Amino acid sequence: MATAPIISKMAIHGHPLHPMVIHFPVAALLGLIATDVTYAFTGDYFWARAGLWLAGVGVLGGWVSGTIGLLDLLFVKQIRRLVTAWCHAILAVMMLSLATLNWLIRFGQPDALIVPWGLYLSLLGGLLIAMASLLGGQLVYDHAVGVAPEKTAERAVRNRKIEQAKEG
């Protein structure tokens, strides 16, 4: 358990950027699994084209989010000292490398390599996302990376007042 919060350098008004922007590429890359499976069952070209777009959004957004996370890793000494942070970063780079390959194999003919290679890369990417997400959660909840306890305390007080007002 962290004794003090670790403040992100890559933040806007104290709000860390990495957790703000990671959700979009994760959603796109997990959605890619669904489009690949659907294409495999239906053969409908729409799903291949949708997969190309989801792969692109996931890769581009992932590299933006990963760059932000990398800058925090490099600039914040307390984060650099955490083995969990390095494992999270390594898994993220592995996942983004596979996702980039997955996106690149879809150019020209989005449907040509979905079965089996695109689907395999999408599933493996989903597994790596799950593992990296687990470690990212540990960074936040166990090591207090990017957590502002004063804001959390203010929110708790505000919520308590709202609940008391509702009760009577």
Residue 1: the pLDDT is 52
Q: How many Å separate Cα 116 from the centre of its chain?
A: 25
Query: How many C-beta atoms surround the C-beta of residue 154 within 10 A?
Result: 11
Let me know: does 36 contact 122? Beta carbons within 8 Å. Answer: yes
Q: State pTM to two decimals.
A: 0.86
pLDDT confidence of 153, banded at 50, 70, 90? low
pLDDT confidence of 4, banded at 50, 70, 90? confident
Distance CA 126, CA 119 (A): 10
Residue 149: the pLDDT is 67
Q: How many Å separate Cα 123 from the centre of its chain?
A: 15
Please name the helix (run of DSSP H) or strand (run of DSSP E) that holds residue 27, with its range, or none.
helix 23-42
- State the DSSP code for 22: S
Distance CA 54, CA 76 (A): 32
Residue 165: the pLDDT is 87
pLDDT confidence of 128, banded at 50, 70, 90? very high
**Residue range 23-52, pLDDT digits in tens:** 999 999 999 999 999 999 999 999 999 999
* Residue 159, φ and ψ in degrees, nearest 5: -65, -40
